[in-house]
Amino acid sequence: MRIKPFILTPLAAAISLVSFYAFAQEGSVDVSSDSTPDEVIPLTVQGYKGYAQELPTSGSKSDAEWLDVPQSVSVVTDTEMKDRGAVKLVDALDGVAGVNNTLGEGSRDQFVIRGFDSLQDIYRDGLRDDGNLQSYRSLANLERVEVVKGPAGALYGRGSAGGIINLVTKRANGEEFTRLSTGYGSNDKLTGSIDTSAKLTDTINGRLNVEVRRANSFVDHVNSDDYFIAPTFQFQPSDDHTVNLDIEVMHQTLVPYRGIPSKDGKPVDVSRHTFFGSKNDFQESDSIRVAVDDELKFGSDVTWNNRVAFTRVTLEQQGTRQTTAAVTGVNTVAQTVNNFGYDPRTTATLQSELKWDVGNQQLLFGADYNQIDIDLNLRSLSLPAKSIENPIADNVASPGFPAFRENTTKTLGFYIQDIITLGDWSFSGNIRQDHMDLDQTTAAGLKTNNDDDKTSYRVGAAYRLTENMSVYTTIAKSWQLPYGGSFISPTLAEFYSTKLKEVGVKAYLLDDALMLNAAVFQIDQEQPQTDTNGFIVNKNQERHQGIELEARGQLTKQLSATASYTYLDAEDRDTGKKPNDVSDQLISLGTTYQLNDAWRFGGSVKYVGDRYAGNNEAVDLGDYTTVNAMASYQIGKHRVQFNAYNIFDEKYYLGSTDGTSGVNSIGYGSPAEFMVSYSYEL
């Protein structure tokens, strides 16, 4: 099934008319007239929160009102994640304006935000979350997910060309409950989870999340098996002092899926279950993350937050992959088996932030230190060429996991934010100074260093057209490390710079139950290339211009809705061609309707426009449309939910790995699948 944008336009109009007709029939959301944008919207059935109920804080690291933050920020609540039947982060972010997922080598979360790869730009409670970038993160301990669009280096430091993804942890807030859930779906997908919370003493709360996931795949020989344990504690020595302690332990095993090759500018025509890997391909990882968040209030105007997080990951992967060489005339593709591992990879972050409300000003003073140490093991072996028509999976020799190099990336940053309100105007200024230092030692003892001092900034203004609507404009600049700081190349000795220009409109409708955001943006990235002496010899330049429209929230007490449209004109300014895996259009529509206290129904449609694999438009991936549906039934404390995905069985390509390697690593999207889940609350 393929629905073109001109068909989706009347479809969107029809859904909107139906939605607003339901609204007219049932009346507006029952919220008091003096509500403010950050108030909670009560929903009486099944304990659900509204889709727009959470005030996003990632755009300012403060409680500044969303309307006054001069940058696009989207929030996905736990209600929306439950309605989607989300198991992975890719499920949770499906449909967010400007965000699309890609293959991620079939072994990790990987997203494209406004046309830029964001593998290195995932955060946890405002702290960099590099530790688990080679894994599929669990949703079991997440309260919500927030996405800041565009360069955000003035607050978060290096990275964030297209934006950042901030994962917000569930807290032990003293509620008393135990929630059990399990699910079964296509390809023997099996999930189980426990979320239990209690008040342990007058000053200590506890919460525990446990999850197991196990699944085969629509691709032959591909499967996964993992568990996740996350105890969380909250200590309250006084009314003005709160300490949160988070511990997460994860074990994950899977078989990487590196997709299929291409020929003559198109993916080879094989069935979706075809596996071009080897029977003994695998990835196994173990991680532990410990984080402490200490919040101390001095009266109502001053808050001091100190955070520390440490992650340790060990990982081994043996994966068969196609090389970038073109398929031969006898229809074979060259292959290698690549082994790599972290032994270990550790990430340590310290952060201190002081927030101070002074009259009509909100001041933020911050400092952070981040250090990533990677002991990388790596080796590859060439394999015999494999037929593209009848690839046979077999066991292959292992090249082993010899020591390859040690990398240390250190960043020390200091930053200030000032938000000044003058009548209907709100002015924001951010500036951050970073010292970044990269050290690399190869197995042969060769040492390399790359360091610099960089300044990031954001300057913006918002004007309240009404109490519930604002217009805003912003300019910003961020810096990126080549290869995300995990590798030093003598020909990429200069950091990348990214600049943002954006204007937009934000509004709350229906008594703050519905959030609307429209933005027009331009992002320019410059990637200097150097000679072996570090002198710049060339600059690759990309320009991404686009429009984003997004609505999230409640149309009535019973009807939740999300809608987004993204138009993106992204090109390499030297060649005029699209970057790898960047779509020109993204369209998403979704609604969920609470029929009564028992029944809840929902559905969504997503369109992804034309894309290419490879940075020179080498392989045409085309466009695609998927349609999902959901129904749930609750009686007492029992709840059963049915989710159906890609119900018209659209055959499409999810994406590819980055750059030139993508031409022979193109992943199929999932066929029609289902998931049935059951939950019970004690």
Q: Which residue has the higher pLDDT, 170 or 54?
A: 170
Return the half-sphere exposure (C-beta side, CA atoms, 13 A cut-off) of residue 547: 5
Does residue 363 surpass a pLDDT of 80? yes
Give the whole-angstrom CA distance, residue 14 versus residue 17.
Answer: 5
Q: Which residue has the higher pLDDT, 3 or 116?
A: 116
Give the whole-angstrom CA distance, residue 131 versus residue 291.
Answer: 13
Lowest mean per-residue pLDDT among 166-170, 326-330, 482-486, 643-647: 482-486
Q: Average pLDDT of 26-52?
A: 45
pLDDT for residue 488: 86
- The contacts of residue 597 (CB under 8 Å, 6+ apart) are 45, 46, 634
- The contacts of residue 218 (CB under 8 Å, 6+ apart) are 186, 187, 272, 273, 668, 670, 671, 673
Q: State the amino acid at position 276 in one-letter form.
A: F
Lowest mean per-residue pLDDT among 126-130, 241-245, 253-257, 676-680: 126-130
CB 646 within 8 A of CB 669: yes
The residue to which tokens 């909250």 are assigned: 234
Give the whole-angstrom CA distance, residue 279 versus residue 283.
Answer: 12
Q: What are phi and psi of 490, to 5 degrees?
A: -65, -20
Confidence of residue 358 (pLDDT cuts 50, 70, 90): very high
pLDDT for residue 26: 40
The helix (run of H) or strand (run of E) holding residue 20 is helix 5-26
Cα 614 to chain centroid distance, Å, stands at 22
pLDDT for residue 671: 97
What confidence tens digit (pLDDT) does each residue in 70-94 have? Answer: 999 999 999 999 999 999 999 999 9
3-state secondary structure string across 333-352: EEEEEEEEEEEEEEEEEEEE
Q: Which residue has the higher pLDDT, 28 or 345?
A: 345
Quick check: helix, strand or coil at residue 558? Answer: coil
What confidence tens digit (pLDDT) does each residue in 384-412 have? Answer: 999 999 999 999 999 999 999 999 999 99
Quick check: helix, strand or coil at residue 28? Answer: coil
pLDDT for residue 28: 38
Give the whole-angstrom CA distance, residue 28 versus residue 555.
Answer: 8
pTM over 0.75: yes
The residue to which tokens 């085309």 are assigned: 622
Q: What angle do CA 615, 481, 134 make, to 5 degrees?
A: 75
Parallel/antiparallel/unpaired status of strands 163-169 and 122-124: parallel
CB 232 within 8 A of CB 172: yes
What confidence tens digit (pLDDT) does each residue in 518-540 have? Answer: 999 999 999 999 888 778 889 99
Residue 247 to residues 287, 398, 434, Cα–Cα distance (Å): 11, 35, 29
Structure tokens, 644: 């159906």
> What is residue 45's DSSP assignment?
S
Handedness of CA 197, 198, 201, 203 (dihedral sign): positive
